[in-house]
Structure 1
Amino acid sequence: MTTLEGAVVLVVGATGGLGSRIAAQLENHGATVARASKSAGHDLRAPSVIQKLLADTKGQYGRLDGLVVASGVVAFGAASELEPTTLDELFAVNTTSPIQLITQSQPYLAASAREGREPFVVTLSGVVAEAPVAGLAAYSASKAALAAFVVAAGREYRRAGIRLLDARPGHTGTALSEHPIAGAAPRFGAALDPDLVAARIIAAIVDGEKDLPSTAF
């Protein structure tokens, strides 16, 4: 079991529909939450910004015990009509930036483990990482790539006492689909309650789970 009381957790995408809820619920469990988001001026596509964000978090709070990557963008439309700039944006935000965050946070989280805590990283790849969706081909690919990285990197990070956890909930009732970077959202079925999705993720952190497939939601 992972104790969140007193843990320092950085939540990236903290103003989003899920990120804001996860941050709030972490605080309800006694964690100290550092928030980062594009709206707060954190353009995490730049490695130097990631380096500064992690260093600033360590400088302000003294350590880093957890990282939640809840940032993301979505695009809709036929694969044959995919614009290069859309593809670049999807992978920059959904794949490359999260991977950079995970790799650059490793020394901070490893230090937390050496001090006897149970550091963790949570990513949100979503159900499309398991079952790619027509009309969401590039988005599905960007999330599947992240999920693959987490599986492989998790085996390495485990040796340093760091747990990586990927969450893959189905369509969740946030505003993400209302603000795509391309295309228009199709009609989705019933959406998952974002408060319940966030609560399930918090429970997985506390209970030491190592994976959250779509069937867990």
Structure 2
Amino acid sequence: MAAFTGKSVLVLGGSRGIGAAIVKRFAADGARVTFTYAGSREAAVQLAAETETTAVMTDSADRDAVIARVRDSGRLDVLVINAGIGLFGDALELDPDAVDRLIRINVHAPYHASVEAARHMKEGGRIIVIGSVNGDRMPFAGGAAYALSKSALQGMARGLARDFGPRGITINVVQPGPIDTDANPADGPMKDLMHSFMALKRHGQPSEVAAMVAWLAGPEAGFVTGAMHTIDGAFGA
């Protein structure tokens, strides 16, 4: 029997990169998977067909849409919040509206989605948020807004772990470092700089992050909550 047979999983932000790898992992492990997308409809439709999962359009910048999507998903066993955006540049020059949008997607959506999911989860429910090692370390200029959003997830998870713990629901943050995706390709212009900080001189693979997510969602991680799980080749060491 597959590890997640009969389990209901919702992945917010699942059409590409790390999110797509997470969808593939849970589908391969027998779960009923629904995932959201915003601007990547073609990729979402193709992934849904390949994995026999369900793709639904949801804008993670819209708080009410996120809450409704989680609520309408019914009783979830696992919620994975992967939707997020990056915004880099001189803090004195960044568009304030763009910064606010980043915070809505990277902070507000994970908080409201987690709270709404916990309303419907039974004991043993799992909430996993994809953060970033930049929540711990920002080694170059221009990343203040992004790092702020990823650090916020740490406090959120620690606090919600206290709130959800009496009901047997866990919440954890997975913090990837450089991962080989369209947004951060292993052969991209930043690779030499990023690898110079790392003990393992390579980008990680989305499947490696998905494997950590699957472990946190499984029975062996039942005593793990309110914690940050960094997978970064020692980028932040």
Q: TM-score range by the shorter chain?
A: 0.7 to 0.9
1:50 maps to 66
Instruction: Verify the 8 A CA contact 2:85 2:102 in the aligned structure 1.
Output: yes
Deviations 1:149-202 (A, max 9, x none): 111111211111110011112111112347xxxxxx745323111111211221
Cα distance in structure 1, aligned partners of 2:119 and 2:127: 13
2:11 maps to 11
Deviations 1:40-94 (A, max 9, x none): 5311332331232123211xxxx21110000010012122222202211210110
Letter in 2 for 1:71: A
Instruction: Verify the 8 A CA contact 1:120 1:164 in the aligned structure 2.
Output: yes
Equivalent residue runs for 1:49-68 within 5 Å: 49-58=65-74, 63-68=75-80
Equivalent residue runs for 1:1-217 within 5 Å: 4-39=4-39, 40-58=56-74, 63-109=75-121, 112-113=122-123, 118-133=124-139, 134-177=141-184, 186-187=190-191, 188-189=194-195, 190-206=202-218, 207-208=220-221, 209-210=224-225, 211-214=227-230
Q: 1:82 to 1:186 in 2, by over 3 A?
A: farther
Q: Give TM-score scaled by structure 2 length.
A: 0.77
Q: Which runs of 5+ in 1 are unaligned?
A: 179-184
Q: CA deviation at 1:131?
A: 1.2
Q: Give TM-score scaled by structure 1 length.
A: 0.83
- The SS at the match of 1:74 is coil
**Cα RMSD, aligned residues only:** 2.1
Cα distance in structure 1, aligned partners of 2:153 and 2:228: 14
Cα distance in structure 1, aligned partners of 2:132 and 2:4: 24
Cα distance in structure 1, aligned partners of 2:68 and 2:206: 30
Letter in 1 for 2:113: L
- The SS at the match of 1:79 is coil
Letter in 1 for 2:156: F
Instruction: Verify the 8 A CA contact 1:72 1:94 in the aligned structure 2.
Output: yes
1:181 maps to none
Taking every aligned residue pair, what percent have the same amino acid on both sides?
A: 25
Q: 1:147 to 1:136 in 2, by over 3 A?
A: same
Instruction: Verify the 8 A CA contact 2:174 2:231 in the aligned structure 1.
Output: no
Letter in 1 for 2:96: P
Q: Which has the higher helix share?
A: 1
Q: Which has the higher contact order (CA 8 A, sep 6+)?
A: 1
- The SS at the match of 2:92 is helix
Stretches of 4+ aligned residues off by more than 4 angstroms: none
Q: 1:201 to 1:41 in 2, by over 3 A?
A: closer
Q: Which runs of 5+ in 2 are unaligned?
A: 40-55, 196-201
